[in-house]
């Protein structure tokens, strides 16, 4: 299982993680939390597929706890902005009753698009962890 971590801070950079055998990065939860979060994101992806939508899923992790989760709903809602990441951010904001998700981690099955990256940054999400490349699942439509 390969993960990528992207910092949404001033200095954007990608780090490739092979099986989460890495030294802890400040602000990130333990690797077991990341593994569980990725499993939950994959479950959301599977839910999207069962519903006839695109194969994407995402969760928002805050303080080691999953506070938001969603599958892609682009096809089922005919909403071009209903990417899994956007829906997970919306879910987290509603559950936490705040627009400020500072310190949260967005975990996605594929690399988020620029719209989702911008939404994550606007919400205060500090890190993104994502699975294999977008090409593996096909581009959002």
List the catalytic residue out of 36, 85, 87, 117. Answer: 85
Active site residue 85: yes
Q: Which is more confident, 20 or 113?
A: 113
Q: What is the pLDDT of residues 45-87, one digit of tens each?
A: 999 999 999 999 999 999 889 999 999 999 999 999 999 999 9
CB 84 within 8 A of CB 56: yes
- Residue 94 has phi, psi (to 5 degrees) of -65, -45
Q: Which is more confident, 38 or 134?
A: 38
Residue 19, pLDDT above cutoff 60? no
pLDDT at residue 5, rounded to an integer: 57
Our CA dihedral for 96, 101, 104, 107, rounded to 10 degrees, sits at 80
Query: How far, CA to CA in Å, does 12 sit from each of 8, 15, 105?
Result: 6, 10, 15
Q: Quote the crossing angle between the two packed helices 31-50 and 84-96, to the nearest 10°.
A: 120
pTM equals 0.76
CATH number of 2-7+28-132: 3.40.140.10
CB 107 within 8 A of CB 58: yes
Strand (E) positions, the chain?
Answer: 2-7, 14-18, 57-62, 65-71, 105-108, 127-130
Closest CA to 87 of 52, 62, 123, 126: 123
Cα 105 to the chain's mean position, in Å? 7
Provide the residue ranges of all domains of the chain, joining segments of one domain with +: 2-7+28-132
């Amino acid at each position: 299982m390969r993960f990528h971590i992207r910092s949404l801070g001033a200095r954007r950079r990608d780090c490739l993680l092979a099986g989460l055998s890495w030294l802890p990065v400040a602000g990130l939860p333990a690797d077991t939390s990341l593994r569980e979060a990725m499993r939950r994101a994959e479950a959301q992806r599977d839910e999207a597929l069962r519903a006839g939508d695109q194969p994407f899923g995402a969760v928002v992790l805050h303080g080691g706890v999953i506070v938001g989760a969603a599958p892609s709903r682009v096809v089922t809602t005919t909403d071009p902005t209903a990417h899994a990441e956007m829906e997970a951010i919306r879910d987290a904001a509603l559950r936490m009753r705040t627009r400020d998700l500072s310190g949260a981690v967005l975990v996605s099955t594929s690399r988020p698009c620029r719209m989702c990256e911008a939404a994550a940054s606007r919400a205060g999400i500090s890190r993104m962890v994502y699975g294999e490349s977008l090409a593996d699942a096909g581009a959002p439509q």
